[in-house]
Structure 1
Amino acid sequence: MTVLVTGAFGLVGSATVAHLAAQGRRVVATDLDIPANREAATELPPGVLVRYADITDPAAVDALFTDVIPTSVIHLAAVIAPHCYSRHALAEKVNVDGTANLVAAAAKQPTPPRFVLASSVAVYGPRNPHHITDVLTADTPVAPYDIYGTHKVQAEAAVRSSQLDWVILRLGGVLTVALRLDLNPDFIFFEGLLPTDGRIQTVDVRDVARAFAAATTADCLGETLLIGGDSTHRLTQGDIGPATAAAMGLVGGLPIGRKGDPDSDTKWFATDWMDTMRSQEVLDFQRHSWPEMLVEIAENAGWKRHVMRLAAPIAHQILKRRAAYYKAPGSYADPWGAVTAKWGDPRPHATGQGKQ
């Protein structure tokens, strides 16, 4: 039984491939043929096969399926936020057209594979916690604001309208305990522009990998499931960065962002707490609590925590001056305004490629 994993060298992809390999599954990892992925492929578990392919090329996708003959597909490849905001055309080509190509190729197989799609809570749009008190469910109406959420709605529609056996997993805020000192400045800037009191349900990437692996065989065909951690992962956006930084030793290293405007229903980001009862029941994936993750982050930092504690004041001053709202007027966060100023209009009707 062969599992084909697209986007295999991303954060979720690499964890999913590792989990499947540890289960003894036959895994084929596919992603773009670029130097970074070639290097990452050298770290794959023994037995994992690599097939490079561009999912925006229908012929390449057809050839991939003919070669691999997968029993199931875990589709993770995507251009995610914030990079999708400055590359509208590319993001649509990958997120929407690429998904359609995979669905079409899967449907042509003599025995079509089960198709597991990675979606996102971005499909629900901005969530003002001052006006919305319920939690997200699979039945919560979708109302995407940005192109990423819109692309995921379109990708879900392509999967649902197919004749394939399918499962859709909508992910919350995926985190890792791995210590990384090469953090992307764009991601740091992006996280800093989100309202600090916005609700978010995080989840350990290893638990996400477990969920995807389980979804290839679990009794959940035709279901849309929400993937978040246990109740300890019901946080606010402002909880995450400082706690993670402190666990690494950067106590006080991150500047404090801005709260959201309680009177605006659009100046919030597309995250919220979620009901994961059904997904946990059928996938049994929640293993790592938020407090346990912080302990593990500290353990992984080891002796470097002492060095980073000394560097924390300097890091704070540097990040403060590079933050989205540094010397900006107003007192509330304006995430979409900040996104537009740095990367371009995030809305799906924007025709330009955004700011580079």
Structure 2
Amino acid sequence: MSCESSLPENSIVVGCGAVGVDFLATVAAFPKPDSKIRSTSFKIQGGGNAGNALTCVSRLGLKPRIISKVADDTQGRSILDELQADGVDTSFMVVSKEGTSPFTYIIVDSQTKSRTCIHTPGFPPLKPVELPESSLLSALDGARIVYTDGRLHETALVVANEAVKKNIPILMDAEKLREGLDELLKFVDYVVCAAQFPQVWTEASTVPRALVSMLLRLPKVKFVIVTLGKDGFIMLERSVNDVGLSAEEEDVDKLLESLEIRKNGSIYHPACISSSVKKLRAEGIGSLFGQLYVGTAENIPPSELIDTTGAGDAFAGAILYAICANFTREKMLCFAANVAAAKCRALGARTGLPHHTDPRLAPFISCSSFTSSS
């Protein structure tokens, strides 16, 4: 039996969010104001959180469908062509006869390995009326999970409402505060956050306290992951069964400290450790039964680290895959860190995204990995 035939039967992922074109210029060092410099390399490639995450999902072997909008211009046509070439179903995309497609200028600093983005949104923006109910129902037909990046929030809310009616779980990539984000978060089951988001959204003094606050404020959410770049990741998962557990509380900040001590920062490949299920207390916020996970990013040699653009999208795409494939939580997190690290070895958000046949993913993806889909 081939690995392709052993993929989860229910492998359709529906995403709603941003697509665009990225103009990536690598420079020796970030320019000073009113200066002129030359790029050392240049690349034009598809981008946008949703477009990147669903490209990742497709390369890993699943069947993504995307809901977004482009204009009928040169950039819009290239966006659609690239997504289709990567196996993403674009039949639910809205193509406007007027306006402009989204694009982003990205400056990649070779010294610091950082990237600076200047984004120009598409116009006019996608409105729910442009997505007929028949198209929405067709898009969600047979879907295993729904993804949103928090953009196109009015349409994303319509998609989320229908997904909840059909008992389709939703994963949200929460990058930063956006219009409509609070309303959208009420519908989701899983959250993947950028490093600063939990504390900005909750106003908590530490990341662990912020994660507790998020789960208390969002009772539908099963877990929240915060990605920390080269410092790895932290995940807090709600315990669904606290019957018989000790009522003794443990401070969530102290628990994180104890896990960090156990984490070996010298290893080269991503690793993950977790606490047992505990009643976790966040000072001044409250407590809940949950399990804390802490992990490392891959220690990429400087000579191999090219560009971090889209690393978070790659991580989120891998989490979508892992949910569909019923990975354990530890396996899911290490897998996502591996996929993100592979992406960082090439310029742009998509060039380095690995395919499911990539030897680096063999410890995670094999015929034996795919059993049943829940």
TM-score after normalising by structure 2: 0.37
Structure with bigger helix share is: 1
TM-score after normalising by structure 1: 0.39
Structure with bigger strand share is: 2
